[in-house]
Structure 1
């Protein structure tokens, strides 16, 4: 699994057991509770969803966490939640589409905490439209956020990781980077670019002690897939019906905490020989064809 740079990885055996343990409790008992003590972690797009869950999990495991997002109110809320639980975190308002803000964010985290050890480049947006209906502005917004944002983040993180003697970079791609669905030209192409960036960067910096990976989530219960304004009870009904129709391995929608658990595992020394690859965490999602929608529900895209 770890021997071939650029191949898609599947978590199995002892590794899967470790991820399953973390999924139950990202700050697991015993030594895992402080497994990232003394480490400085940066997370982009952490005001909600996978990024938020990951920032909380890293802090619970002892890391000092600097994270960003565009929505300041939500960012301050996550910061307070982590500190109230006894963790250390600082929110920086930054938009990964703006080069100056990315650099200021990364440098600001390193300056505040004295170093950088782990980066989780997670910020991203979704667009579901047939290709000919996508405007140029929509196309460029997706690429600037999902692909160029990752490039800019890595570009400014690497000097700090080199100064620290090495580290880990994990980037959020998608299960749809390899097997897309109709109406996802902009999204899939941007996530495919993330995979390419990861594979090239792994070769650039592996000999200097930096591992670079992408995590490829399937459909996860976040604001990217949940229609705005849908009541909690109706959304729960939708998820219960949607899972068995679309996810044929583990017949349910994934949770942000489960992806966060996998990110923590990949960033740990347990995966010290894994780099330049994409790790699929999708529950056995049947991609490559249109979603099957439960009767009476509108597609969440």
Structure 2
């Protein structure tokens, strides 16, 4: 049997109570990682931990709202308190709702909310994750930030604030990668397309209303725009997440890895 890629590594995942984050937490644990599951919904987070424990995996839930500076700091403090260190961070969150509008019609409070959650919170997470890693000394660390293909290729119409925030995530990731490479910290972003999760389907409801079509019609149009003809499953995304955070990707840093079934190949 091959050696588990994350044996005894400590992985913290803000945004892992469902969808891609949940699938990734389970996948890390199956590869021997000690996982901190985190999010706002304690009941959902504890269910992820319980599922991990069914196969004798190791995980702990720590509640954190990524929009709270105090919660993010506490998340990292608790991670060190429980497991003694942190080796990998997957910042898997973003705001999708209340952002579908022409740019002149975007409400200021919606703009601020998207910047705070989808971009500023990523900066805060990296801030405390990097500080923790630096205290541990030079090592083999990885930070992966969840981004989007809407943040590249010039941005997308009607979801401008989301595109702006995700562009910022890509830029921050590249800057951090250059600043901390000599400390053994790799930083990348994952430019996701459409993933088959509860969150994306909720977002599609809002988007369909904006276009004046049914969600079923929108689903069909989305799938038609993807060369592979479908959205990615959470497990498919988790497979990529684990690769980018593993030693197998030891020479990848400062990259925005596109995972979209070929959707952006027409303009990138």
Shorter-normalised TM range:
0.7 to 0.9
1:245 corresponds to: 224
Match of 1:178 among 138, 152, 155: 152
Match of 2:2 among 18, 31, 34: 31
Instruction: Determine the C-alpha separation between the residues in 2 that align with 1:236 and 1:86.
Output: 40
Secondary structure at 1:226 match in 2: helix
1:131-160 residue CA offsets vs partner (Å, 9 max, x unmatched) = 222211111111111111110001001122
Match of 1:187 among 150, 159, 162: 162
Structure 1, unaligned stretches of length 5 or more?
Answer: 1-29, 290-301
Match of 2:259 among 281, 284, 295: 281
| Map 1:119-198 → 2, pairs under 5 A | 119-126=89-96, 127-162=99-134, 163-166=136-139, 167-179=141-153, 180-198=155-173
Structure 1 position 206 matched with structure 2 position 181:
yes
1:293 corresponds to: none
1:76 corresponds to: 46
* Larger RCO (alpha carbons 8 Å, 6+ apart): 1
Instruction: Determine the C-alpha separation between the residues in 2 that align with 1:244 and 1:193.
Output: 27
| Map 1:3-18 → 2, pairs under 5 A | none
Structure 1 position 225 matched with structure 2 position 200:
yes
Instruction: Determine the C-alpha separation between the residues in 1 that align with 2:162 and 2:91.
Output: 16
Instruction: Determine the C-alpha separation between the residues in 2 that align with 1:286 and 1:107.
Output: 39
Assess if the C-alpha contact under 8 Å between 1:181 and 1:287 holds in 2: no
1:298 corresponds to: none
Shift of 1:94: 0.6
Distance 1:266 1:286, change over 3 A: closer
Secondary structure at 1:227 match in 2: helix
Structure 1 position 43 matched with structure 2 position 13:
yes
Instruction: Determine the C-alpha separation between the residues in 2 that align with 1:239 and 1:82.
Output: 35
Secondary structure at 2:199 match in 1: coil
Structure 2, unaligned stretches of length 5 or more?
Answer: 206-213
Assess if the C-alpha contact under 8 Å between 1:220 and 1:254 holds in 2: yes
Taking only aligned residues, the RMSD between alpha carbons, in angstroms, comes to: 2.3
Assess if the C-alpha contact under 8 Å between 1:195 and 1:214 holds in 2: yes
Question: What is the TM-score with the length of structure 2 in the denominator?
Answer: 0.88
Shift of 1:244: 4.5
Shift of 1:256: 1.3
The structure with the greater share of residues assigned to helix is 2
Distance 1:236 1:84, change over 3 A: farther
Instruction: Determine the C-alpha separation between the residues in 1 that align with 2:176 and 2:51.
Output: 34
1:60-86 residue CA offsets vs partner (Å, 9 max, x unmatched) = 111000121111111111111111221
Instruction: Determine the C-alpha separation between the residues in 1 that align with 2:89 and 2:46.
Output: 20
Assess if the C-alpha contact under 8 Å between 2:17 and 2:41 holds in 1: yes
Assess if the C-alpha contact under 8 Å between 1:117 and 1:164 holds in 2: no
Instruction: Determine the C-alpha separation between the residues in 1 that align with 2:200 and 2:124.
Output: 26
Structure 1 position 63 matched with structure 2 position 14:
no
Shift of 1:245: 1.2
